[in-house]
Structure 1
Amino acid sequence: MFQSPRPLVAASAVPAFGRAAVLAPPRPPFRLVVDLAEAPLSKRWWRGAATLTLMIAGVLQLAPSTAPLPAGMPQAEGPDQARQEEALAVAPLSAGSATGLVMSEGPRARPIASAPARLSRDLAIVFGAGDDLVSLLQRNGASAADAVRAASLVRAEAAVPAAGTTLSLRLGAPDAAGRRTIELLRYRARLDLIFALVRGANGLQAEKKPLAVDRTPLRIRGSAGGGLYWALRSSGASPQAAADYLQAIGDRLDVGSEVAATDRFELVVAQARSASGDVVPGPLLYARLERGGGPTLSLVRWPVQGRLAWLDEATSPEPVRSGLLRPVDGPITSGFGSRMHPILHFFRMHNGIDFGAPMGAPIVAAADGQVIRAGWAGGYGRQVRIAHIGGLVTTYNHMSRIVAPEGGVVRRGELIGYVGSSGLSTGPHLHYEVLKDGVPVNPLGVTFVSRPIVNEGLLAAIRARVKALRGA
């Protein structure tokens, strides 16, 4: 009887046709890092706990000691090492450290009982701000008697050095106390003078050596280009000279919008140059701007009534006409004519115009003239009255403070006082009036006539000065 062979694999292990085999879950990989929150007390958990313990132990082994650091400076291991460190300036100077290594005795070096004193010492010392010459000389080894004598001679010759001056000092042999005589003291007292104190048969004597000084002014020219200030600086003008130039021409035109790139500038600056090459710059003397689209400015610095002003060499001797110059910076709040008085409450002639301005705002003269009154004027409060050419008088009222002196001459735009609310007034403002032959007129319709501040003789002198400065 035929029998089938015994199957090698159990029937249950053979998957049925068309049915997925049931596979065992994959074994997780081995990791040292274990999440101890999963499967507590399992083999995997114990392995993770052991790893953590070993890591903590390793960190503790490598951590620095928590013992306190030793206080104070480390001490040298022995006297020889201490001497070497002190000689090399390793020890602090406050502890008496020396500089330079002390040489030991050898075939070519041997110690001596004492070092000979230097017969003279040459020093260069700086006279600082607030320094006293006596103290300065004594600090540098001079004897008290010579220091006092030197200071006395310097004062007598009016040659006290300025702060920052370098003094060349030569001292002689020391006395028993270690103080030395002054053999020579020399320095530049002024740009044109070298001052010296020299020891002779009769002790210290003053000597003066004049230096030749060239005072020819510096002339600078160039084109405005992309910016007038930087063009001035590039041409050799100092920051101060460039600023003074812009300020001089800025009173007559708008530097930012009225100067073209092709306009040419010229300035003359005072300077003094000594024979030794030292240069001391001076003030701006002349400013010129040749404009392609306007008249040429040619300004010279000139004394006018005790102050320096910029005058144009082309100033016309004819009278100059000008309209209203606002005496204060502010809007017109009340015009000329009949109006309801704000305090008296009835219609009344308003003989001027009111400018709204805050308390203390500056008030300037509307035109050149002479102050004929400066004081209290009843309902007008503090008042300034200025007489002008052509029978015109301007009044400035309700001031808080008056600056212009009575009887003085003022120029157009010059400060005469400050806005206030004095007299019959409801608040800070300026009441401004113009009178023609004593009759009030509308200030907005007035044209002032002012004479130039130069005459024909002065104008000729100014033009001669300009010619000399330009070397023409």
Structure 2
Amino acid sequence: MFHSRVLPADAVPVFGLRAPPRAPFSLVVDLGGDLFSRRWWRGLGTLLALTGAVAALAPGLEPLAGGRTAEFDEPAAEQWDSVGIGALDGGAKTGLPMAETAAVKPLAEAPVRTSVALFATLGPGDTIGRLLARNGAGGADAAQVEALVHSAGRTLTPGTAVSFTLGLPLAGGARPVERVSLRAGLDLKLELAAGADGLTMTRVAIPVDRRPLRIRGRVGSGLYWSLRAAGANPAAAAQYLQALATQIEVGSEVGSEDRFTLVLESARAATGEQVTGPLLYAGLDRAVGSPLQLLRWRTGGQAQWLDAGNASDPRPRVSSGITWPVQAPITSTFGMRLHPILRFLRPHKGIDFGAHWGQPIVAAADGQVERAGWAGGYGQQVRIAHGGSLETSYSHMSRMVVAPGSAVRQGQLIGYVGTTGLSTGPHLHFETLRNGVAVNPMGVRFVHVAAVDPGQAAAIRARVRALLGA
């Protein structure tokens, strides 16, 4: 009879029973498992041995030894500079002076240039006589040139370019004036030349095309920047927005598909120079709404904008808007924006003009000063009441020149641009308020109808046709 029994787990197998296979030897040991076993300690020892070997073979942390750049003496440094590979702090000057040899013979006297041709521009407060004198001209000739230019009846402005030629030096070292040429205006050039009877002046008339300049374009994503992209300068763009604001709310009643037309005074010389003047006509062809044809016309001794294209009333009607308080481009409009200092979205309750420090600020319309002083984050602020629950405010000023309670007229100086209060730089923050609530200044206008002689309607429309045919 056979008997069987179960061997204990730790019994050594006999009678030909095979032991379980052992894991193959490996230096790679997972130290995250089987903690503190013989295999784990062996893996830790291997890691420490490898780390010690790397540390023993690694280079030291001390600075590497290096040579010192050789310093050239002065002749060698000059030689390197002459070929353009000298030190940058010396500018790597090129060109070597040539030393004289025994073949060089000294001159008894140095040659003098028989004439000197120069070009200069007038500075602020400068005169043509002082310009010539400080460039070597004789005092008598400089005074004569100034007298002749003055007789032309033109005032030379700073920046006027003057080209002139001076002759052989006289006994005192000063040179006589041989020729002077300058531009005394867009339509006049003055040429002075020395002759047997002294200096004489010739007036050279320059043809000037004075046809108005017309600019057209599509409103697109932003009216102001579309005006600038079409070629309107900042002053003309500001005048155009001000003209539109007498009839519509620019911020909400101008669409991206609307097309604008500006006509400016312009003078273009035959030599290519061009000078533009004030805005004469502001037109807007609207996709939604009637078109605008605004003409600058003098009525009652004042220049105002007439709606010459109103179809319901053949007589031109007048509506005056607010005057922009400073001559500068608009840098931030009315509405939500990321505050440049606080760095979070908040309503921008007015418009910002990117003016320079110290530029004059004028009242946008007739009214009475309500406040003139410090207003927290607004800095130095002037607030003016205009009647009908309408107010305007002017903030971040550097200086104020009006007092509370004083009456001001449209265009009157009230202060100067600054950066007081919560401001990142010089600018004017301009607000309009109706019943104490901020509204878009682009859409504010004082609606009234001025008396315009109906007999002038034909002349006004003829003027519009002439400007649009420019």
Q: State the TM-score, normalized to the length of structure 2.
A: 0.54
Relative contact order (C-alpha < 8 Å, sep 6+): which is higher?
2
CA distance in 2, matches of 1:308, 1:465: 15
The offset of 1:317, in angstroms, is: 7.0
CA distance in 2, matches of 1:196, 1:207: 5
CA distance in 2, matches of 1:281, 1:161: 19
The offset of 1:248, in angstroms, is: 0.9
Partner of 2:407 in structure 1?
Answer: 403
CA distance in 1, matches of 2:388, 2:64: 92
Are the equivalent residues in 2 in contact too, given 1:319–1:450 (CA < 8 A)? no
Are the equivalent residues in 1 in contact too, given 2:121–2:160 (CA < 8 A)? yes
Partner of 1:463 in structure 2?
Answer: 461
Are the equivalent residues in 1 in contact too, given 2:370–2:405 (CA < 8 A)? no
Are the equivalent residues in 1 in contact too, given 2:181–2:189 (CA < 8 A)? yes
The offset of 1:242, in angstroms, is: 2.2
Q: Which amino acid aligns with 1:190?
A: G
Equivalence map 1:349-428=2 (5 Å) = 361-364=383-386, 401=405, 403=407
Q: Aligned to 1:115, which of 103, 107, 110?
A: 110
Residues 1:115 and 1:307: Cα distance change in structure 2 (over 3 Å)? same
Residues 1:293 and 1:279: Cα distance change in structure 2 (over 3 Å)? same
The offset of 1:271, in angstroms, is: 0.8
The offset of 1:88, in angstroms, is: 11
Equivalence map 1:42-441=2 (5 Å) = 76=74, 101-104=96-99, 110-113=104-107, 114-314=109-309, 316=313, 361-364=383-386, 401=405, 403=407
The offset of 1:213, in angstroms, is: 0.3
Cα distance per residue 1:162-208 (max 9 Å; x no partner): 21222111011112333211101111110001012211112122221
Residues 1:227 and 1:63: Cα distance change in structure 2 (over 3 Å)? closer
Residues 1:104 and 1:262: Cα distance change in structure 2 (over 3 Å)? same
For residue 385 of structure 2, give the secondary structure of its aligned residue in structure 1.
Answer: strand
CA distance in 1, matches of 2:304, 2:127: 40
Are the equivalent residues in 2 in contact too, given 1:168–1:186 (CA < 8 A)? yes
The offset of 1:220, in angstroms, is: 2.1
Q: Which amino acid aligns with 1:459?
A: A
Are the equivalent residues in 2 in contact too, given 1:88–1:101 (CA < 8 A)? no
The offset of 1:272, in angstroms, is: 0.5
Are the equivalent residues in 1 in contact too, given 2:306–2:316 (CA < 8 A)? no
Q: Which amino acid aligns with 2:452?
A: V
Aligned-residue Cα RMSD (Å) equals: 5.1
CA distance in 2, matches of 1:158, 1:184: 20
Partner of 2:346 in structure 1?
Answer: none
CA distance in 2, matches of 1:244, 1:76: 65
Residues 1:319 and 1:219: Cα distance change in structure 2 (over 3 Å)? closer
* Aligned residue pair count: 320
Residues 1:121 and 1:161: Cα distance change in structure 2 (over 3 Å)? same
For residue 173 of structure 1, give the secondary structure of its aligned residue in structure 2.
Answer: coil
Residues 1:400 and 1:241: Cα distance change in structure 2 (over 3 Å)? closer
Q: State the TM-score, normalized to the length of structure 1.
A: 0.54
Residues 1:414 and 1:145: Cα distance change in structure 2 (over 3 Å)? closer
CA distance in 2, matches of 1:178, 1:282: 47
CA distance in 2, matches of 1:111, 1:460: 88
Partner of 2:429 in structure 1?
Answer: none
Equivalence map 1:10-49=2 (5 Å) = none
Partner of 1:40 in structure 2?
Answer: none
Find the structure with the greater CA-based Rg.
1
For residue 250 of structure 2, give the secondary structure of its aligned residue in structure 1.
Answer: coil
Taking only the aligned residue pairs, the percentage that are identical comes to: 41
The offset of 1:75, in angstroms, is: 8.4
Q: Which amino acid aligns with 2:385?
A: I
For residue 298 of structure 2, give the secondary structure of its aligned residue in structure 1.
Answer: strand
The offset of 1:282, in angstroms, is: 1.3
Residues 1:241 and 1:182: Cα distance change in structure 2 (over 3 Å)? same
For residue 199 of structure 1, give the secondary structure of its aligned residue in structure 2.
Answer: strand
Cα distance per residue 1:101-148 (max 9 Å; x no partner): 5545579x8445033211111111122223343332222221222222
For residue 168 of structure 1, give the secondary structure of its aligned residue in structure 2.
Answer: strand
Cα distance per residue 1:412-435 (max 9 Å; x no partner): x999xxxxxxxxxxxxxxxxxxxx
CA distance in 1, matches of 2:268, 2:66: 72
CA distance in 2, matches of 1:102, 1:234: 54
Are the equivalent residues in 2 in contact too, given 1:221–1:264 (CA < 8 A)? yes
Q: Which amino acid aligns with 2:299?
A: V
Cα distance per residue 1:358-401 (max 9 Å; x no partner): 6575333559xxxxxxxxxxxxxxxxxxxxxxxxxxxxxxx974
5+ residue gaps, structure 2: 1-41, 85-92, 320-368, 373-382, 390-402, 413-446
CA distance in 2, matches of 1:272, 1:100: 50
Q: Which amino acid aligns with 1:364?
A: H
Residues 1:469 and 1:87: Cα distance change in structure 2 (over 3 Å)? same
For residue 206 of structure 1, give the secondary structure of its aligned residue in structure 2.
Answer: strand
For residue 311 of structure 1, give the secondary structure of its aligned residue in structure 2.
Answer: strand
Partner of 1:452 in structure 2?
Answer: 450
Residues 1:314 and 1:204: Cα distance change in structure 2 (over 3 Å)? same
The offset of 1:293, in angstroms, is: 1.8
Q: Which amino acid aligns with 1:170?
A: T
Of residues 211-220 and 305-314 in structure 1, the stretch that sits farther from structure 2 once superposed is: 305-314
For residue 298 of structure 1, give the secondary structure of its aligned residue in structure 2.
Answer: strand
For residue 251 of structure 2, give the secondary structure of its aligned residue in structure 1.
Answer: coil
Are the equivalent residues in 1 in contact too, given 2:260–2:285 (CA < 8 A)? yes
CA distance in 1, matches of 2:160, 2:182: 7
